[in-house]
Structure 1
Amino acid sequence: MNSQVRPKVAVSSCLMGEPVRFNGGHSRDRFLSGELDPYVDWVRICPEMEIGLGSPRETLRLERSSRGPRLVTRKTRVDLTGRITSLAAERVRVLDVDGYVFKSKSPSCGVHGIPVYAGDTAVDRRGRGVFAARILDAFPLLPVEDEGRLNDALLRETFVERIFAHARLRAFLESDWRARDLVAFHSRHKMQMLAHDPAAYREAGRVVAQAGVRSREELAADYAHAFRTAFARKAGIGRHVNVLHHCLGMMSDSLDQARRADLVEVIASYQAGRVALSVPATLLRHHARGEAAEYVRDQTYFSPYPEELRLRNHVPA
């Protein structure tokens, strides 16, 4: 398989160590700026700096209104909602990325649990940052997280898997592809998509079946939607087990009884939460290489992102 495509990922600038926080500091995230950095092309964004607030600056908060949450400076009571939403609209027109990592707890960039105030009382703690909300409304299938949630091993792996899948799709659709190339691309992603959303995989397959009949533009749009929809659903243990058994079944005739039994046992250990997904996946890929099972070997399921990230090493809860 070709080397991994580098995802383009938007990120709140402070998470990469830029001193753009309200207090003049930063919120450098070790995973983003360290482990993930060699494999990703970052698009750094700080909406508060881009509308001219500077750093340090007065703190902001969300306030309830009849028109929805407003972004307001805490002391001077300046309403910044219009400036932030205008900036978001400009960004939406030009943003071409495979994912976005927002700063948690930010009234402009927070994705989850931002308090909305009425006077001095937080009346809703389920708010979303004004800038982030506009981006998510415009790109509902874009892989999005905040750095706090990326501390969870499963959420981290899911996000990274999605941005690399989106990057491969982007690179493919930007190439001079033909109908047979779309068939091959879809085929290589079969197991990975089945682990996420079998229904979306089948829908993508129906689109692929029309290759050579419909226009490239229509095919690209419909296939991209089905592909991204598939990866928007988290891959569960049960679907991983089904995929692992499916791969084993395709190699079964070339394996002796002892090796088949070993693989079945390892898959059961993963299902029971005794070993990480990396264990059965690595063994299956090893046997696929040894038995020259090219179809299984070339599945993106076995190499969804650079192995150096070691994201499949957590044991499922």
Structure 2
Amino acid sequence: MTSAIRIGVSKCLLGEKVRFDGGHKHDRYITGTLGQYFEFVPVCPETDCGLGIPREAMRLEGDVRHPRLVTNKTGIDRTEQMMSWATHRLDQLENDDLCGFIFKKDSPSSGLFRVKVYNRHGQPARTGRGMFAAAFTERFPRIPVEEEGRLHDPGLRENFIERVFALKRWRETLAEKKAMGRLVAFHTREKLLLMAHSPKHYREMGQLVAGGKQVDPVTLYDRYEGMLVEALNLKATVAKNTNVLMHIMGYFKKQLSGDEKQELLELIGNYRKGILPLIVPVTLLNHFVRKYSQPYLSDQTYLKPHPLDLQLRNHV
């Protein structure tokens, strides 16, 4: 990466005392682990839109698709205040080159999933999305988003961070002059990663790039970006990863000794059975890439999509 990877984060997750009760929800994984690789852009919709600390708690009421933001006890409607600020803040964030956003779960302003929305009888249903989170995802549908609570799930954590790094690589390609050669080079490096997420998108994106000379560069790049985001939004499963691992092994069919082939097949098989984490066969493949000088594979981001220190492929 030639510059810092910037992601938006709810301020309370960084330890800032901005919650309605004057407290915080410091997440040490975010600040301690992710903080080594990401530059944070802190956002607290409630304090940033002008509400004080402490303040009356709020909730979403009414239509799930278009709820109102209302204080719990006094019933003051803060919807217009929140949305007026959000429109201005989103304009600013458009220039911040964000590659992701981590929101605070359950928040009526920042929750991404299953946020309570109260009907006219005062009964809640976990079917909503926080007001600012909804506005952000509508404005920036191609930026990876996640809640801090869901980052404790190894699979969801890996998928989110992998998408962040992939978007940063794409943004650096976009920063260069649009040219078929650059797009082909990017697509070539990402091929196996795309295959692990969606073989369908892998094929369709290959066709798009192959016929790229018949499409104007702006349209071509936009279509490619949309398909890239769609593909990586799909989780890389054990079955799809196994297929990629076997595909990579095929590049060494004339070089590996019998013992090396057997060892690699055993590791891939044990990964497929859920006995070993993905990092084990990937580490051996990286060793073979170096040992047998495979230039095509050495450039594949699938083998090194993010820093090893994050240990995202160490779970079973």
Report the TM-score when normalising by structure 1: 0.94
Question: Any stretches of 5+ residues in structure 1 without a counterpart?
Answer: none
Corresponding residue SS for 2:98 = coil
Partner of 1:107: 108
Quote the sequence identity (%): 43
Which residue, 15, 18, 22 being the options, matches 1:17?
15
Q: Which residues in structure 2 correspond to 1:54-65 (within 5 Å)?
A: 54-65=52-63
Q: Does 1:268 align with 2:269?
A: yes
Higher mean C-alpha deviation, range 233-242 or range 77-86: 77-86
Corresponding residue SS for 1:240 = helix
Partner of 1:179: 180
Q: Which residues in structure 2 correspond to 1:134-153 (within 5 Å)?
A: 134-153=135-154
Partner of 1:31: 29
Shift of 1:70: 0.9
1:13 is matched by which residue type in structure 2?
K
Q: Which residues in structure 2 correspond to 1:114-193 (within 5 Å)?
A: 114-118=115-119, 121-193=122-194
1:5 to 1:193, Cα distance in 2 relative to 1, 3 A: farther
Shift of 1:119: 5.5
1:33 to 1:66, Cα distance in 2 relative to 1, 3 A: closer
| Deviation sequence 1:199-230 (CA, Å, 0-9, x none) | 12222222222344433212211111111111
Q: How many residues align?
A: 313
Contact 1:6 1:164 in 2 (8 A): no
Shift of 1:49: 1.1
Higher mean C-alpha deviation, range 21-30 or range 202-211: 202-211
* Runs of 4+, deviation exceeding 4 Å: none
Corresponding residue SS for 1:41 = strand
2:110 is matched by which residue type in structure 1?
C
Shift of 1:132: 0.8
Partner of 2:226: 225
Contact 1:72 1:81 in 2 (8 A): yes
1:181 to 1:65, Cα distance in 2 relative to 1, 3 A: closer
Corresponding residue SS for 2:253 = helix
Corresponding residue SS for 2:254 = helix
1:4 to 1:126, Cα distance in 2 relative to 1, 3 A: farther
1:114 is matched by which residue type in structure 2?
V
Mapped partners of 2:227, 2:114: distance in 1:
29
Contact 1:204 1:223 in 2 (8 A): yes
| Deviation sequence 1:245-304 (CA, Å, 0-9, x none) | 000011221111111111111000000000000000111111011100111122100111
Higher mean C-alpha deviation, range 271-280 or range 79-88: 79-88
| Deviation sequence 1:60-98 (CA, Å, 0-9, x none) | 011125983111011221111122223333333343411
Mapped partners of 2:85, 2:198: distance in 1:
35
2:234 is matched by which residue type in structure 1?
R
Which residue, 65, 79, 82 being the options, matches 2:80?
82
Report the TM-score when normalising by structure 2: 0.94
1:267 is matched by which residue type in structure 2?
I
Alignment RMSD (CA, Å): 1.8
